[in-house]
Structure 1
Amino acid sequence: MLPRPLFGYIAGASERNASLAGNEAAFARHAFRPRVLTDVSGRRQETRLMEQDHAAPFGIAPMGISALMAYRGDLVLARSAEAAGIPMIMSGSSLIRLEEVAEAAPTAWFQAYLPGEPDRIDALVDRVKAAGFGTLVLTVDTATLANRENNVRAGFSTPLRPSLSLAWQGVSHPRWTVGTFLRTLKEHGVPHFENSYATRGAPIVARSVERDFGKRDHLNWTHLDQIRRRWPGKLVVKGVIRSEDAATAAERGVDGIIVSNHGGRQLDGTMAPLDALPSVVEAVRGRAAVMLDGGVRRGTDVLKALALGAEFVFVGRPMLYAAAAFGAAGVDRAIAILKEEIHRDMALLGIERLGDMTSDFLAPNR
């Protein structure tokens, strides 16, 4: 379906993929303790998060260059999420202008990768605000570019470098080549990183791309304070593992924290978000909403995260695979499957409301 370099970009993580594997393995360490003979005929999974109502306790995680995987991929994901009543977080490394996504999906969130440069921070925050986004997500675990050896082995690079191998991948995957790549070139030209800063970024084939994405090692708590002062909407910090960092973020006025290790794509060997979750919840209880990203694949995973204190979770790779395979219809179906699983699993657990899902329903899976 997808050329090998693009599939490798989605499927892989960094170095040995230890964190990628660990994210999913963390869920397997917990077993359920369901209760029986409980009337669950009225069960519902609607969720209220940061004063907003959602049809389910999950949303779509931010994923860069989605428009290379599926034609207008960010719009496909955003529209499907909007129709399903769940939030989608648009990635700052997307190839579609954030204004287009905000217009198509008013409830979408925007995720920013920001350098430690006050002028550029203010300019991008003002652009996101003018576009109409209500929630800004600052990703904080990307101080430098990760060592993604998987991308090298798969033949993927940023910037994209034409080669005979890439040409063969295009020839051998005609559906993607015609339906996504050539269609994009014909209707929109060479893709650019549209939302790295307030102005249009570099094209995906430009040598300056790596330099633009590597200027984040100066970002610090004073910049978070700057964003909080300038941004009037909900502010979420993504990429937190340590409870001390979560507490500091809450003290500085963030509305939400996403416990995440970037899907295993940054520091390999970072602990699984599910394992970090309970301490983060305890550290910010009553001061900020706590969400989780990483390793969520089934309805049972969603419910385990909720039992350990998460108020919401985000799902990434499965949604992008669905978009690449079947476009909007694929994403619609992926969302529906996850909703159906949660609905069924609630019945089998013996709960009618997601708020009933506490740690009492879990036991160590020895």
Structure 2
Amino acid sequence: MNLEKLLSVADFEQQARSVLPRAVFGYVNGGTEDCLTLDANRAAFRSVQFRPRGLVGVAERSQEVELWGRRYRHPFGIAPMGVTAMCRHRCEWDLAKAATDAAIPFILSGLSTLPMEQVRGAAPDFWYQGYIPGDREVIRPLMERLQANGVDVLVVTIDTPLGANRENNQRNGFTIPFKFSSGLLWDGVRHPSWSMNVFARTLLTDRQIPRFCNVLADHQGFRITEEPQGGFRHGRDKLDWTHLAWMRDVWRGRIVLKGVAHPADARRAEHMGLDGVIVSNHGGRQLDGAQASLDALPAVVAAVSPTFPVLIDGGFRRGTDILKAIALGARMVFLGRSVLYGAAVAGEAGVSRVIDILSTEIDRNLGLLGCCDVKNLDKEYVVHQPMI
């Protein structure tokens, strides 16, 4: 495939729809219940309009950003995504390697299937995102494993204490733990490239069913087809601020909260000595009817000090989307589905092409905005009227 013919994230989404079995694409693309939050994430970008400046000289432009003393080439990174092995064999490697080559951050999901010890080969400085239970005896050995792998940034997801009602997955016959069915088998037959690149390569090369090997300290984890002891989300509903306070005392690196929507939570995170928050509604995959991430962003930014990093994810598909979030106070944007479409279509090369498309859009639109440096982009460049 000539990837140069794919000109936007939307093009990659359309191509991924044809490559992936219907149930797998539905898992990647879908939301929860009536998809109100999923739709709100995209609609929110329409409520922000640019106010470009003229005659400022934009021949030299920079989209480089700095976070915790480290410089990144672009103002976006790759968000944590679980079970990406359903889209591409060793998908985490493709995502991590493309991110490293582009000098942007990559966050490894706890629900990934490539051991973090191997991911280090593609992204030595990867961040780790965990679904942390409220149990110190489980958290402590996990943190020890992360430290042994050189992880400096620990991202704690706080918006998944319970499993969401993802009706679209049930209708498509897609479940976690994964269960084989005649419908899924036929779906795979109708998508031969997926069957070869994912199903066959996994069984023939790895010679085993993929395992969630990064969710706990146990390197083996559990198979994606089995329910672990105590349940898939055992203990998550017990996690509270006392655990975060204890983790802050124990963990030497950075701690970032992901899934923050309320400004009071961001304020408390800063006062506790945490290192940042990610404004997120889990891509519209948890609480339906929640506020769009972009609409929640300004209040969260206003609740913390200017030096406290506020990051964001949710619905980003264009360079202009990213610039709108930066103008509203986000330090960095994280992309999920956008880059996963690239991986599904063409592996590492597909992810790199998506990164190139977005970075080119950012560069072009910075110039059209009359802003030479993304670090100088602020609310003076936008008008924000949240949709009701």
Once the two structures are superposed, what CA deviation does each residue of 1:60-102 show, in whole Å capped at 9, x if it has no partner? 1111011121110011000000000000111111111111112
Q: Is the Cα contact below 8 Å between 2:63 and 2:375 reproduced in 1? A: no
Verify: 1:193 aligned to 2:193, yes or no: no
How far is the alpha carbon of 1:103 from its aligned partner? 3.0
Match of 2:297 in 1: 277
Q: Measure how far apart 1:210 and its partner are.
A: 8.5
Q: How does 1:181-330 map onto structure 2 within 5 Å?
A: 181-188=199-206, 189-199=208-218, 200-208=220-228, 211-286=231-306, 288-330=308-350
Looking at structure 2, the residues matched to 309 and 141 of structure 1 have their Cα atoms a distance apart, in angstroms, of: 22
* Counterparts of 2:336 and 2:298, CA distance in 1: 22
Q: 1:6 to 1:214 in 2, by over 3 A?
A: farther
Deviates more, 1:275-284 or 1:238-247: 275-284
The alpha carbon displacement at 1:137 in A equals 0.5
Alpha-carbon distance in structure 2 between the residues aligned to 1:250 and 1:18? 30
Aligned length: 366
Q: Distance in 1 between matches of 2:334 and 2:328?
A: 15
CA RMSD, 1 decimal? 1.3
Shift, 1:35, TM fit: 1.1
TM-score, normalised by the number of residues in structure 2: 0.92
CA 1:209 to 1:48, structure 2 compared with 1: closer, same or farther past 3 Å? Answer: farther
Rounded to whole Å, the distance in 2 between the matches of 1:40 and 1:71 is 42
* CA deviation vs aligned residue, 1:326-353 (integer Å, no higher than 9, x gap): 1111001000000000000000000101
Alignment-mate amino acid for residue 195 of structure 1? N
Letter of the 2:87 partner, please give it. Answer: M
Matches within 5 A, 1:16-55: 16-55=34-73
Alignment TM-score, normalising by the size of structure 1: 0.97
Residue deviations 1:30-75, cap 9 Å, x none? 1111111220011111110122110000001111011121110011
Give the whole-Å Cα distance in 1 for the aligned partners of 2:227 and 2:204.
23
Aligned residue for 2:165? 147
Residue 80 (1) aligns with residue 98 (2) = yes
Which piece of structure 1 moves more, 64-73 or 277-286?
Answer: 277-286
CA–CA separation in structure 1 for the residues paired with 2:367 and 2:230: 49
Q: CA deviation at 1:104?
A: 2.0
* Residue in structure 2 matching 1:333, options 353, 358, 361: 353
Contact 1:144/1:215 (<8 A) preserved: no
CA contact (8 A) 2:176 2:224 kept: yes
The answer to whether the 8 A contact 2:112-2:212 is kept is: yes
Aligned-pair identity in percent equals 47
Task: Give the residue type in structure 2 aligned to 1:283.
Answer: A
Deviation at 1:214? 4.1
Shift of 1:223: 0.7
